[in-house]
Structure 1
Amino acid sequence: MKEVQITSTLHIFENLNELPNDVVFLMQKAIEVRGKAYAPYSNFNVGAALLLDNGEVVTGNNQENASYPSGLCAERTAIYYAGSQYPNAKVVKMAISATSKSKPTLSPIPPCGACRQAISEYEVKQETPIEIYFMGEAGQIAKSASLANLLPFVFDKSAL
């Protein structure tokens, strides 16, 4: 038997003021679109903003449904829209912000497992990493240089 150790590296910024200007802009877009989320069941609003290599910024927010599996997270809403409208563009950066109506969200909130898998599909397809910045409603922001830090054993087309 052999032991394999997996490590992930994240960078933590104390607040928005520590981020580069382009990421502040992207995070502000995520915060703005977060306010338009449709989340009457979970009361957990999430916004995502993507910067594409063609300069376009694409946003998405979570869209819930009384039939829970029919809803869609903000990250997947944004990345699928980018894929459908700009199929040849690469996703360079993603900013995510989440807030809850039931309690403060003051620590970084990463993408869920389903979103990690969806983001991974695009990272593998474009053969370049996607920088991912995530936060709650305020406070620290975490940066991952690649989705691979958040999902080290990616399931992709090579397994099929």
Structure 2
Amino acid sequence: MVAEMLHTASLIHDDVVDAANERRGIDSLNKKYGQRQSILSGNFIHTQASSIISSIGNPRVISLHSGVVEDIITAEFMQLGTKEDEQERFKHYMRKTHKKTASLIATYCKCFIDDVLDFIVGQEAMGKPTDSDLKLGLANGPVLYAAMEVGRQ
């Protein structure tokens, strides 16, 4: 959910930077409400995503989230510049694309897989206690999904 929120915020900002009137055939927020409201809407979604991440209380996840935000902003700056040399232009594009999209997806996969590994790999293999979230009363992704499945039965 947080990854989707952050991605949505970045798309709203992207439409402002690109002065886009449409996104996938629908009027952009930028066209409907103007730059100021669009930027503030993107910022609001981003801060809500960050608030959710912070509420988890896992320093590693918070740090990963911060890194993704930094990557997305860096990519936006990178997008504003191009390289003259054809080889450099392609490398620049690939680095920008990684920071703008791939970093987001890969990072949030890391956040979730760490929670899954707590249940399928022992403490010795993980090199850390694997039940600390549960002991603290924190429900992570696998626990929440399991609870939903039990509730459906």
Band the TM-score falls in, shorter-chain normalisation? under 0.3
Greater C-alpha radius of gyration: 2
Tell which has more relative contact order, 1 or 2 (C-alpha 8 A, sep 6+).
1
- TM-score, reference length from structure 1: 0.23
Q: Which has the higher helix share?
A: 2
- TM-score, reference length from structure 2: 0.24
